[in-house]
Structure 1
Amino acid sequence: MAVVFVAAVSCVRITSGDAIRSDFLPPFLGTLQTAPEHAGDLSGHGVKVAMLELAWSRYETAPGDWDVDYERRMVEQFRTLRAAGMQVTLGLGLHYTPGWVRDLPDSRFVDQDGRRSDQVDFTFDRDVRAAADRYLQRVAQAFPAGDFFAVRITSGGRGELLFPAGDSYWAFGPDALDADRVATAVGANPLPDWRPGDDGEDATAVRQWYDWYVGALAETATWQIDLLRSLGFRGYFEILTPGVGVQPEALDRAVAAHLPPGLAGQGVAWLDVYQRLPHDPDIVASVTSTGDGSGGDVGCAPEDRQVPVTSTAVKSWSAARWISRVADEFGLAKVGENPGYTAGSTFRAHYTDRSAGGLMATSLSLARSCGYLGFYWAHDAQLWDGTVDAAEFYGYTSPDAGAPPTALQD
């Protein structure tokens, strides 16, 4: 029998069974890149979610050449984490792309000026997707796919759902321009002869083009979700989205200016992205920059849901608050993680600050005010190497904390 979990995340449906604990209270706590040797300590103190990240480049060193020793080690790590009483979130590691995939013809994005990206193109390139399909099939065969709590969904080429870095628009490679070659279900570039920044199209056409562009990014996530579901994954799908991105008013200005170089090229119009994703109970918005300083790190308020997503009031909001509002618009649950210690040298003092204004306290405050289902500390290693103290993290949970609920698949 299914039950409805209503405390702060009423959109999340969960199943009854061993995975559900009556003493679970959101947000759950987890760590990223969890070391198996710490699993018992973490779980015993109430940190109930681990993250296991694969690396495709280590797993498949040549087409069909699987490193079975690596596979065996990773499966054993999964078992160790589960035996400690932890739920496990899977990082697919597509962005650790093997060299042989990177060397495939036309495997990179191409921008409006003809520059090739460093990141591999999982959005438009059919051969790249075919290789990724085979890799994910292998993962599903090696691991008990139905036992994962969640899977982290990215663009493939990067560690979050983003087009390549910079201020370009990455939709002008041979695959993106050719309806017979393009991989994405949204089709080929609808304006193949136009380039962002040019005056050749009116604002309506430019907006339609950007809708297609961001739709292609969203479809990259949907492709993975659909495939993983077909392979037996039954957990949540966490859509990794960092920062405030480009909000509606800023996007309108960019469109009116025919999309000049800017952040919109990375596809970070989160309202538009989430609008185009499935709005199912197992789809989760992940704020991967919780506590990044945006919007003064002001948290969510109960009245936020009454603020229209197109309101100018959202311009001053933090990433956690804005993405949470977007998620609420579409009935999605939320999780988050803090920026990692390597985010920048000027950020490190904030990361290690143990006061109420430090990163850990700030991030957990945001997670609670915004009704996150869970929060992951980035990264597990920093809890043990002296950078921050694991005991401080444990202070935000309890040894009696229950494991978080699992997703309900229709």
Structure 2
Amino acid sequence: MALVGVLLTGAACPSYAAPAAEPAWGVVDSTCAPDRLAAQRDAGLTVSVVEAYWDRLQPVPGAFDPGAVAELAARVGRCLDAGRRVVLGTGTQYPPSWVRALPDALLRDQRGAAPRTGGLDLVFAAAPRAALDDYLTRLVAAVPAARLTGIRVGTSAAGEIGYPGPQESGYGLNSWWAFGAPAQTGADLAPGQARTPLPGWVPGTAAWQGRAVTAADASRWFGWYSGALVTALAGQATVLRAAGFAGEVHLPTAGRGVLPADRSVAVGTLLDGHGDRDGSLGRGLDHVAAMPALAEAVPGAVVVDLTSVDDASAVRARALDPPEDLCTPEDAATSLDPTTRVERWSNLRFARAQAARAGLAVVGENPGPPGGTTGGVPDSDPEIEQVRRAPAYARACGLAAFTLAFEEDLHTPRSGVTPADYVGAITSSA
């Protein structure tokens, strides 16, 4: 069983009803450049999320590139030597070309299409999973792992929990990413996974093998689909532990997942697209079920990283009367009450409540500037507004740490954001 770990603050996990006195503050995608570290130290920042890149570290199978290893180790070492607490992103969203060429490497939807981003099947397919296991084992050896605070694991092309989103399918909502041969036939299936409970059944169809499909069938299929993500993440964490990493395993988590009422609608209509407000169903994001399961399945200290701090849902939720964007101490208890209008809540608020229900430690980050290369969408706050608002959300939701996406934007004039803006937001929201 995975217990709530030691947080970035160094304290035991605060209860949701009694949030941490103060989050730790930091940045995402840190270069660990000396001048930036100095400026961030003066601003009171103490956490760096540092990204590794699978394609650079392992351009050919069976070995790491010495130059890339030296660069990563030096980058991590500079941050550590400057007193930063470092969370390492594994960079599995940047797979080498040879991994993409492995059998059953790419995810497939019910139409046989691969994601537009070329997302790997790190959930069901044995060959890319074996390559990933080898990579993670070598990665732990390549960095000063004993000095790291945490290592991130994920399954998506963004390095987060989940299957591809609607924008990656070419068909919008209602794409399902479990139609490769391993998931459908059980051949060359990744360790710990199970084949589909309804081989050949496509969500939204009313019959399977000569009989009517029931809501219970659809619920069982979706439970298998979303539960496979938990198994995959637990497998990555187990590899890290076997390689000798004893720190926190961080789980970057997008959005709020499917809401309970929407899940009921979805399975009642045989997953034909009803009840899917934001693509959570196709991405397999069921935080209500997954977070307790992750707490049980992932070995060692586990931290959920909510990547929705001041996302577009917060913009909408705070415009309501009354506003529904801020976490409250009662959320964990009321979030599953069918009379609670959780569809009005921000993503952060609902997901935070599920982490609290599961007893999981929580950190967070903002989506970044609106645009196709980040988590921001056109109706997100501009980045300067995210900087100004996110610290207040981090405090209200009892996050142990908040890391700003992205470091580069604090140190380039074209962004319109400066370290002083970040410091001002932290100070003014206290």
**TM-score range with shorter-chain normalisation?**
0.7 to 0.9
Counterpart CA distance in 2 for 1:365 and 1:397 is: 8
Counterparts of 1:235 and 1:8, CA distance in 2: 21
Aligned partner of 2:126 in structure 1 is 126
Q: Compute the TM-score of the two structures, normalised by the length of structure 2.
A: 0.83
Structure 1 residue 317 displacement after superposition: 0.7
The answer to whether the aligner puts 1:392 opposite 2:421 as a matched pair is yes
Structure 2 counterpart of 1:241, which letter? Answer: T
Secondary structure at 1:350's aligned position in 2? coil
Q: Is the 1:62–1:100 Cα contact (8 Å) retained in structure 2?
A: yes
What SS does the aligned partner of 1:334 have? strand
- 307-316 or 365-374: bigger deviation: 307-316
1:213-238 deviation per Cα after TM superposition (whole angstroms, max 9, x unaligned): 00001111111111112212222222
CA contact (8 A) 1:185 1:219 kept: yes
Residue of structure 2 equivalent to 1:216: 228
For structure 2, the residue ranges without an aligned partner over 5 or more in a row are 1-5, 167-172, 208-212, 319-324
- Given that residues 289 and 339 in structure 1 are in contact (C-alpha distance below 8 angstroms), is that contact kept between their aligned partners in structure 2? yes
- When residues 336 and 213 of structure 1 are mapped into structure 2, their CA distance, relative to the original with a 3 A threshold, is same
CA deviations on 1:2-37 (whole Å, 9 max, x unpaired) are 99636556999xxxxxxxxxxx95311110111212
Q: Which residue of 2 aligns with 1:161?
A: 161
Give the equivalent residue in structure 2 for 1:195. Answer: 202
Q: In structure 2, the residue corresponding to 1:222 is in which secondary structure?
A: helix
Q: 1:268 to 1:57 in 2, by over 3 A?
A: same
Residue 394 of structure 1: CA displacement? 2.3
Measure how far apart 1:393 and its partner are: 1.2
* From 313, 316, 322, the counterpart of 1:294: 313
Cα distance in 2 for partners of 1:316, 1:170 equals: 28
Tell whether the 8 Å contact from 1:218 to 1:277 is kept in structure 2 after alignment. yes
Whole-Å separation in 1 of the counterparts to 2:308 and 2:383:
16
In structure 2, the partner of 1:73 is 71
Structure-to-structure mapping, 1:274-293, within 5 angstroms: 274-279=291-296, 282-293=301-312
SS at match of 1:116: coil
- Find the residue that maps to 1:109 and give its secondary structure: coil
CA distance in 2, matches of 1:36, 1:265: 36
What residue is the counterpart of 2:332 in the other structure?
305
Specify the alignment match of 1:237 in structure 2: 249
Which structure has more relative contact order (CA 8 Å, sep 6+)? It is 1
Q: CA deviation at 1:274?
A: 1.4
The question of 1:204 aligning with 2:216 is answered yes
Q: Under a length normalisation based on structure 1, what TM-score does the superposition of the two structures give? A: 0.87
Measured against aligned partners, the alpha-carbon deviations of 1:202-261 in whole angstroms (never above 9, x if no partner) come to 011110111010000111111111111221222222211111231111111111111014
Instruction: State the Cα distance separating 1:106 from its structure 2 match.
Output: 1.6
Contact 2:55–2:94 under 8 Å retained in 1? yes
**Judging changes above 3 Å, is the alpha-carbon distance between structure 1 residues 276 and 362 closer, same or farther for their aligned structure 2 residues?**
same
Q: Provide, for residues 94-132 of structure 1, a one-character-per-residue CA deviation record: whole Å limited to 9, x for no partner.
A: 110100100112211121222233211000111101111
Cα root mean square deviation, aligned: 2.4
Q: Aligned with 1:395: secondary structure?
A: helix
Matched, 1:341 2:369: yes
C-alpha distance in 2, partners of 1:350/1:300? 19
* Residue 365 (structure 1) aligns with: 392
**Residue 182 (structure 1) aligned with residue 210 (structure 2):** no
Q: Which amino acid aligns with 1:309?
A: L
Q: Which amino acid aligns with 1:325?
A: A
Gaps of 5+ in 1: 13-23, 399-410
Name which of structure 1's ranges 294-303 and 94-103 shifts more when overlaid on structure 2.
294-303
Shift of 1:177: 1.7
Q: Tell me the equivalent position of 1:139.
A: 139
| Match in the other structure for 1:270 | 287
Write out per-residue CA displacement over residues 162-215 of structure 1, whole angstroms, 9 at most, x where no aligned residue: 202223111111111233421152411110031100112101111011101000
Are the aligned partners of 1:147 and 1:234 in contact in 2 as well (CA < 8 Å)? no
Q: Report if aligned partners of 2:100, 2:120 keep a CA contact under 8 Å in 1.
A: yes
* Residue of structure 2 in register with 1:321 after alignment: 349
SS at match of 2:119: strand
2:169 is matched with none
1:27 equivalenced with 2:23 (yes/no): yes
Q: For 2:332, what is the secondary structure of its paired residue? A: helix
Range with bigger deviation, 251-260 or 301-310: 301-310
- Check conservation: 2:366, 2:404, Cα contact below 8 A: yes
Call closer, same or farther: CA 1:135–1:320 in 2, change over 3 Å.
Answer: same
1:187 alignment partner, SS class: coil
- 267-276 or 376-385: bigger deviation: 267-276
